[in-house]
Chains A and B, each alone.
Chain A
Amino acid sequence: MRSLPPLRLLACALAVAVFASIPLISILSYGFRVGWDEIRPLVLRPLIGELLLNTLWLCATATAGCIALGLGLAWILERTSLPFAALWRALLAAPLAIPAFINSYAWITVRPELDGLKAATIVTVLSYYPFVLLPVAATLRGLDPALEESARALGTGPVRTFLRVVLPQLRTPILGGGLLVSLHLLAEYGAIEQLRYPTFATAIIAQYESTFASTAANVLAGVLVACCLVLVTLEVFLRGRARTARVGSGASRSRPRIRLGWWAIPVTAGVAGVVALGIGVPAYSVTHWLTYTGADSWTLGEIAPVVWSTLKLGAAASVIAVAVGFPVAWLAVRYRSALTTALERTTYLASSLPGVVVGLALVTASIRYARPLYQTTPLIIAAYVMLFLPRAMVNLRSAIQQAPPSLDQASRALGQSALATFLRVTIPLAAPGILAAMALVFLAVTTELTATLLLAPTGTHTLATEFWAATSEIDYPGAAPYAVCMIVLSTPAAWLLLRQSHFTGASYE
């Protein structure tokens, strides 16, 4: 029996869902206010078609590349006797710690002539393939070995077993990872701008720089939002149909790996090659620029205040995101119903919008409805919370699941009040997940570029904006220390993601 959610909690969650929807509402209402007659000539013009084609091409090539690379590497890591597999797994996940715009900076350093679709594909594949690799590897690891054994006993050879039994089980992580990559590509600004490949994200910023929060910029954002919504709808549809859950609950036994023998040499070389391209190139470039003119080209006095203001923004955003996300996650786990699930989904949906759209929407909305908020710290923190709420929610959800209601009831039966139960049972059990949620939001904020460029109050500098300002002036040595700071700050988040994917197994969401 399931009780009704408490009204106060429901009101909180509703407010959060509305808050998270502000960018979407803003873009849509802007369209209604301006009217189709004014929008039509802006939508139905060759530029939009060209941008759409460019964006879709990049999505297609880079997503295909990520799936091919991620699937192949996951299979090698989980199913073969690759020596030092644990080390390779960590190294292959390491690009998670390198923002794509640092990766493109590194590649331009090595190959200054890189530009266009090919360059954008190479750089984004090397930045985003872990989004496919990690869930596929986790699912491969979690698959019940009895499935494959049963297929073998039914007279199916190893290759056909992979195609007929294993691959269908991997459909969800492959498509889910692929959609995540596509969403990131729609939103990616920094890396693609550096490689001079125009997409919606870069066009919106260019439009903003020339005409501010104009109708043209908002129309571009509207088309981008439509693309995102298509992908998100696809994902919801996909999850609804997923049938990969293990039937029954038997204990997994470890499975024998394919012995590579002499193949170990070329396979290891291939894996090492991916690692060299994915983290070797950024490491080389950053080191190269750090030592280029010696340590006197930058000083600690210059960097310290930037680090400090970035940390402050990150801390504020992470605390607020967790506080705001907790009631929604709590309702979704403890009072599961169509309403609470819809509220939870709303926060995901709104937050699937690119930073460029959220930034533009908040600029447009604040100028029109809340002038005093424009160019203030609260507004940029609000943008961070909208953008990164899902990262907090995923962890809060699993944190709350760590403290099932049966433990609450046991505590209440032992004479503890509701508050005491919350403090003595729920919080201690959920604490690791809550901390992980805060850490992930914090680290996402420290490397956020696009929304920050649009919303940062005058005089507020973050690591990402300073890095961007330096590279825009081709001051590559000056950008290097900021790149190092961002990579160092991102490493714990990458480690968290790697660890989570390692322990969740087939229950990956």
Chain B
Amino acid sequence: MNDGAALEVRGISKSFGRLRVLDGIDLTIPGRTTTAILGPSGCGKTTLLRLVAGFERSDGGTISIAGRSVQGSGRSTPPNRRDVGYVAQEGALFPHLDVRANIGFGLARWPAGRKAKRSRVEQLIELVGLDRGHAARHPHELSGGQQQRVALARALARRPSLVLLDEPFSSLDASARVSTRTAVAAALREEGVTTLLVTHDQSEALALADQVAVMVAGRFRQVAPGPEIYLRPIDLECARLLGAGSTLQGRAAGDWVECALGRLPLADSAPFTSAAVFIRPEQVTVHSGTAAVVTAVDYLGADKLAAIRLPSGEVVEARLAGTAALAAGDQVDVRVEGTVLAFASLDALGAKANSG
């Protein structure tokens, strides 16, 4: 395996007709790591994946995989010579082949003996945590989660330099999603393969990726390890894409910001005064008092999400233990733990700030 960059994307742009989908994308994925592209639907993340796979051609820019140029200066390597594995949103298993034949599909021209191929297939079945009894089944006899595992095994079979996952869990129901994600993560780790994952689900991106690239409207806003983006998002949009939070109007001064919840310490000093203060619900604690009113409580099982109206009329969300006794209409006091984030704000932002 190559120790340098497994994927190197430079200045990629793509338009469909007059619609500019990607606008000057740069991305480097170090070998044996996982990068997730996180963004709202329609931001261009799937298009980027398809350009890397070779299903579409970019308008400009270069792509190289494992040090080999596959796109650039007008030349484009066809997908079958790119040395990538690809897992489509719905698996795209071949309906006329059983599980074994699906996994072995790409091995037809693999320079290895029949026996080596067969043992590779068996190894993959085990790797992705499939039941051996399912090996002779056809795709329509498998659950969605099992289909995705087969699709991953099939993509890994030829030991590609790079595996591309296109929202591989989005078609699964909630329970299958977590177990499939865990199995996929384990398989990718064990194979030590470089992975590019496209998703709109922040928990998926945070759970699987070493590096998260937040994409909005065809451009990367921030590319960094997941925890860093969660704790130090570059702007309000990145902050919200990585998880829920409440926004309050405030006035920043150096390392502090003044808002409806009092004077709070900032994670980074702010070079502006008019600020949008972003507070994650787990930072908000509730105490006995009369300053604020609980307007709604969502019971989520392990925890509760409470909406609390402050004297300023603004609303903050607080995450509480599921056992906490709290109901709509209760009067409480609210405090904030830890440092908060402040972004330069236009006053207009305040109007829709509370939606979280």
Contacts and interface: CB of A to CB of B under 8 A. Distances in A.
Contact of A155 (B96, B106, B171): B106
Given A146-B90, A243-B140, A153 B80 contact: yes
Interface stretch (B81-89, B219-227, B326-334): B81-89
A114 B78 CA distance: 50
Interface residues of B, number: 39
B79 A152 contact: yes
B53 interface: yes
Contacts of B79: 149, 152-153
Contact of A246 (B85, B95, B109, B154): B95
A247 B56 CA distance: 24
B92 A155 contact: no
B106 A250 contact: no
A44 interface: no
Nearest to B147: A247
A245 interface: yes
Contacts of A300: none
A164 to B, nearest CB: 8
A256 B139 CA distance: 26
Counting contact residues on chain A (CB < 8 A from B), the size range is: 20 to 34
A248 B78 contact: no
Contact of B92 (A146, A156, A160, A243): A146
A68 interface: no
Given A155-B158, A243-B138, A247-B139, A149 B95 contact: no
Interface string B109-123: 100000000000000
B290 to A, nearest CB: 47
A502 to B, nearest CB: 22
Given A248-B144, A250-B171, A155 B90 contact: no
Interface string A238-267: 000001111111100000100000000000
B250 interface: no
A119 B105 CA distance: 44
A149 B55 contact: yes
B162 to A, nearest CB: 10
A152 B96 contact: no
A507 interface: no
Nearest to B57: A256
A247 B44 CA distance: 25
Contacts of A246: 95
B91 interface: yes
B54 interface: yes
Contacts of B108: 156, 160, 164
Interface in B138-191: 138-140, 144, 147, 151, 154-155, 157-158, 164, 171
Interface of A: 144, 146-147, 149-158, 160-161, 164-165, 168-169, 171, 243-250, 256
12 contacts: A146-B88, A149-B88, A153-B84, A153-B164, A154-B106, A156-B105, A157-B78, A161-B80, A169-B95, A171-B96, A247-B91, A248-B171
Given A154-B86, A165-B94, 4 more contacts: A149-B92, A150-B86, A156-B108, A247-B95
